[in-house]
Amino acid sequence: MATTELNLKVVAVEVKDVRFPTSLQADGSDAMHTDPDYSCAYVTVKLANGLEGNGLTFTNGRGTEVVVQAVKSMSYLVLGQIVTDIYKDFATFWRSLTSESQMRWIGPEKGVTHLATAAIINALWDLWGKLLKKPVWRLLADLEPEVLLSVIDFRYVTNCVTKAEALELLRQGQKGKEDRIKVLLEKGYPCYTTQAGWLGYPDEKIRELAQKYLDQGYTVFKVKVGKNLQDDIKRCELLRSIIGYDRTLMVDANQVWEVQEAIDWMKHLAKFKPLWIEEPTSPDDVLGHAEIAKALKPYGIAVATGEMCCNRVLFKQFLQAQALEYCQIDSARIGGINEILSVYLMAKKMGVKVCPHAGGVGLCEMVQHLQMWDFVALSGTSEGRVVEFVDQQHEHFVDPCVIKNAHYMAPTSSGYSTTMKPESLAAYVYPNGTEWESMFAKGLFHDPRK
């Protein structure tokens, strides 16, 4: 083996359980997840030459330990590989993770194994960007359409989009690409905020935050609903009184309702003119979402979902059944970029707008790259599209997302913006991090080691 190849050998795959005590302030709370501790399984893939790729999947508190174990169980598939061999036939490598004969049984392609896949795959994309010295959005945009397609496993989606159709869509996307890159570098990509709308926040905090983000130039806001109708009405009234009716409001129920309940509840909130109801019911209920979408159409309310959609197959069904009008891909739930690209391609073919989810550790950092690639090289537009922005945990990243005038600025550093600061890892690794030790000592959380 040549020395260059040996330098590119994966010599270690490490995973850390990293947690933040967000439940203390009800940050990130919704009707279903009332006390989330924003967390991640943080993966580092190390090459013999010392270069490292970092990837993560978003989790909530205790669930992290299960994902960490899944990453450990799958890491043998990455260890010892020459990383450039992976990139030469990335779709095959991706399938080797998702179809590993024994691990597959506890998925397949969903839940913990798929979250672990996402963390590993995200680390490999970060590494690819670092090797080529490009931010991932640019790496994706620079790949020839044929090469880009070679990373995608089309198994199970060819009755929605074939490889040949995908190639055509990508070729179309090449037209005007350089101009759009210029626009992106200058203006960035539009975002909305959920920060003023967490369910556990008192009214005064909502008022303050809504005003703060309004003053910063935000025109699109999302608020959590679904626990108590009278409270929802009060919260929507409050937000509308601050942002007015010229700006956009969305509501998010995080899966708490039955199908009919969702329809009835939303009729009461229709007067607040929400653009969409997000996750009205179970994330697996394609036909239920279709029923809700049909019933709420006359009220001008669209259905958005996807942050807990488990894989490309379910996204395909949502699209085929016209069960969503806004497709909310999540950068860390389905199997990483390779699979997410197939969802973008299906959404493009079906004429559905992608408005990514980003409430969680590192999700804003990653998802900006994907939506920027879409703007530059696939959909060719940001019209009617917006990426979520949640102002949490960015300070722990080496290359955090940058927002100006309610737009994500295009990242310029190499990689996927997923590298966390060593001092943050030392403080928040669970349960031995210095911050956790101090919170246990203060009695704020139970120490699991006792």
Query: Could you say whether residue 374 binds ligand LWAPGFLV (CB under 6 A)?
Result: no
Shortest Å distance, C-beta 322 to ligand LWAPGFLV? 22
Q: Which residue number, 36 or 335, has a Cβ lying nearer to Mg ion? A: 36
Catalytic residue among 222, 224, 348, 394: 224
Q: Helix 286-296 vs helix 259-269: angle between axes, to the nearest 10 degrees?
A: 30
Dmax over CA atoms of the chain, in Å, equals 68
Distance CA 114, CA 333 (A): 7
Instruction: Considering only the stretches 29-37, 310-318, 375-383, 435-443, report the one whose residues sit in contact with ligand LWAPGFLV under the rule CB under 6 A.
Output: 29-37
Q: What share of the chain is helix, strand, coil (3-state, %, to 5)?
A: 45, 15, 35
Partner whose footprint covers residue 109, from ligand LWAPGFLV, Mg ion, none (CB < 5 to 8 Å by kind):
none
Instruction: Considering only the stretches 26-34, 97-105, 370-378, 428-436, report the one whose residues sit in contact with ligand LWAPGFLV under the rule CB under 6 A.
Output: 26-34
Q: Which two tokens stand for residue 188?
A: 């960035």
Site for ligand LWAPGFLV in 343-372 (CB under 6 A): 357, 359
Contact residues for 18 (Cβ-Cβ < 8 A; gap 6+): 39, 40, 41, 42, 56, 64, 361, 420, 424, 425, 428, 429, 430, 433
**57 phi and psi angles, rounded to 5 deg:** -125, 140
Residue number with the smallest Cβ distance to ligand LWAPGFLV: 359
SS3 396: helix
Shortest Å distance, C-beta 281 to ligand LWAPGFLV? 14
Please state, as a whole number, how many other Cβ atoms lie within 10 Å of the Cβ of residue 277: 30
Partner whose footprint covers residue 369, from ligand LWAPGFLV, Mg ion, none (CB < 5 to 8 Å by kind):
none
Site string for ligand LWAPGFLV, 168-197 (x = CB under 6 A): --------------------------x---
Q: Which residue number, 55 or 360, has a Cβ lying nearer to ligand LWAPGFLV? A: 360
Q: Which residue number, 336 or 359, has a Cβ lying nearer to Mg ion? A: 359
Shortest Å distance, C-beta 254 to Mg ion? 6
Query: Could you say whether residue 36 binds ligand LWAPGFLV (CB under 6 A)?
Result: yes
Rounded to the nearest angstrom, the gap between the alpha carbon of residue 449 and the centroid of all alpha carbons in its chain is 32
The only residue of 119, 388, 419, 433 in contact with ligand LWAPGFLV, by rule CB under 6 A: 388
The residues binding Mg ion (CB under 5 A) are 252, 278
Shortest Å distance, C-beta 129 to ligand LWAPGFLV? 25
**50 phi and psi angles, rounded to 5 deg:** 95, -15
Catalytic residue among 33, 46, 110, 357: 357
Q: Which residue number, 57 or 424, has a Cβ lying nearer to Mg ion? A: 57
The only residue of 9, 16, 19, 33 in contact with ligand LWAPGFLV, by rule CB under 6 A: 33
Site for ligand LWAPGFLV in 230-259 (CB under 6 A): 252, 254
**148 phi and psi angles, rounded to 5 deg:** -60, -45
Active-site residue, 357 included: yes
Residue 397 is given by DSSP the state: B
Partner whose footprint covers residue 36, from ligand LWAPGFLV, Mg ion, none (CB < 5 to 8 Å by kind):
ligand LWAPGFLV
Residue 368's region, left for phi above 0, alpha for psi from -120 to 50, else beta, is alpha
Written as one string, the DSSP assignment of 321-365 is TT--SEE---TTTSSHHHHHHHHHHHHHHHT-EE-----STTHHH
Contact residues for 302 (Cβ-Cβ < 8 A; gap 6+): 275, 276, 277, 293, 296, 325, 326
Q: Which two tokens stand for residue 395?
A: 């300070």
Instruction: Considering only the stretches 5-13, 25-33, 367-375, 410-418, report the one whose residues sit in contact with ligand LWAPGFLV under the rule CB under 6 A.
Output: 25-33
Positions marked catalytic: 224, 357
Residues that bind ligand LWAPGFLV (CB under 6 A): 28, 30, 33, 36, 194, 252, 254, 307, 357, 359, 388, 390
